[in-house]
Amino acid sequence: MTDKPYNPDPHKHPGLHLIALLEASKAVLALLAATGLEMLGPQPLREAVNALIRRFSLDPDHGTLPSLLNMINPDAVHLAAVAMLAYGVLHLFEAWGLWRAKAWASWLGCVTAGIYLPFDIYAIIRHPGWASWSVLVINLIVVGVLARDIRKRHPKPTAPR
C-alpha cells in the first residue's frame, strides 16, 4: 500500500486548524491575564488572598497563603505578567504556524502539549474527575494529531524491489 505524498496546502489539514484555534485561545487568555496583572497591580491579589485566609479561618501569620501573601509585590506581579506574556506570544506563534501547516509548528505543538501529559496524569491521580480526564484526553488528541502530521511529512523509505 502506497501512502499519498504530503499535501502542503494548509486547507487540507483541518485538524491543524482546530489545534491552531485552541492555541490561539490559550494565547489570548494569557495575554489578557498579563494585561490584567499589569493594570491592576498587586493589591487585588493581596485582597483575594486575605479574603481566602478570612473565609477559611486560617492563621494569618503561618501557612501557605500567608507566605504567598508576603511574596505578592510589584516586582513579583511584573515577573508573572512577563511570564504570561511570553507564554501567550509562544502560543500565538504556534497557532500561526499550525494554521499555515508549518512543520516546525507541528513539532513545537507536539513537544509543548507532550510536556503537559505527566502533569495531566498527576492531576487525575490527585483530583480525579471529568475536568482532569477531559484535559488529558484533549492533550492526547493534540499530541496524536501533531505526531501524525509529522509522520506524514517524513514517510518511511520503502525497500527497493
CA–CA separation, 46 vs 69, rounded Å? 6
Tens of pLDDT along the chain (161 residues) come to 456 777 767 778 888 999 999 999 999 999 999 999 999 999 988 898 889 888 888 888 888 888 888 888 999 999 999 999 999 999 999 999 999 999 999 999 999 999 999 999 999 999 889 999 999 999 999 999 999 999 888 776 666 66
pTM of the full predicted structure? 0.79
Amino acid at the residue 33: A
CA–CA separation, 84 vs 37, rounded Å? 10
What are the angstrom distances between the C-alpha of 21 and each of 3, 25, 76, 79? 28, 6, 30, 27
Cβ atoms within 10 Å of 101's Cβ, excluding its own: 21
What is the grid cell recorded at 140? 492526547
